[in-house]
Amino acid sequence: PQSLARYIAAKGSVCVDGISLTVNAVEGADFELNIVPHTLVETTMGEFRPGRRFNLEVDIIARYLERLLLGDAAGSEPQGVTWELLQRCGFGPGTE
């Protein structure tokens, strides 16, 4: 879904029905996976058919980074490193 696209990055990972896979490429909300024969045999993935619904989990690190940089949904202030913090510490444009 479009709402998860921002959490999917090339060389990152996704989990499809509990099967962890590496993302090869991303374009917009679409992403590509390579599935090796061993994965098809040793998991339920070999039984997947077009149109089947499945559970998709995205990279937890991407979700943590978003929360760290943007704050949580409750409206709390962002924690950790922000652009404002970097500028106050002498980093960024105009702080040479």
CA distance 26 to 80: 28
Question: How does pLDDT run across 19-52, given as a tens digit for each residue?
Answer: 999 999 999 999 999 899 999 999 999 999 999 9
Quote the tokens at residue 36.
């090796």
CA nearest neighbour of 78 among 70, 90, 66: 70
pTM, full prediction: 0.65
Residue type, 36: V
Class of domain 1-58 (CATH, top level): mainly beta
Domains of the chain: which residue ranges? Answer: 1-58, 61-96
Residues whose CB falls within 8 Å of the CB of residue 65, separated by 6 or more in sequence, listed in order: none
